[in-house]
Amino acid sequence: MNDKNYAPVCGIYCGSCDFLGKQCKGCGYVAGKPFWTAQFPSGICPIHDCCRNQKQMEHCGLCEDFPCKIFMDLRDPNMSDEEFQKSLKTRQENLRRRKKIGTEKWLEEISGS
C-alpha cells in the first residue's frame, strides 16, 4: 500500500491499523478525523490539526519542534504506559526515517511492497 493517505502526520502506518476498513478509511482520507476524534471539541486529531492545518507540513518529523508536547501527550487511553512508550518510540523512528528517505520510499519499506 503505497497510498500517501495511509501515511498520517504522526508516524503511524494506517495499513497496520486494526480499524482500517472497518471504522476508518485511513487518516489521509478522513482529513485527520478518524472515529475516535469525536471525543475532542474540534472533532479533529490535535496532531493532524497542528501539523497539516496550522503548520502546513506533510508530517511531524519535518517540524523543528518535533517531538512536541502535543505529539508526546496524545495517547490512546486503552494503552498501558509500556505500550504507549513503545508507540511513541516507534512513531518517532518512523518519522525520522520518513524525513530521511521520503514518504514514498518509507511506505514501500513499511508496507513491504
79/96 Cα distance (integer angstroms): 23
In the predicted model, residues of the chain with pLDDT beneath 50 are: none
User: Any residues with CB less than 8 A from the CB of 78 and at least 6 apart, and which?
Assistant: none
pLDDT at residue 39 in the model: 87
What pLDDT was estimated at residue 113? 66
pLDDT in tens, 25-57: 988 999 999 999 988 889 999 999 999 999 999
pTM of the model: 0.90
pLDDT attached to residue 1: 56
At residue 91, what is the residue type? Answer: R
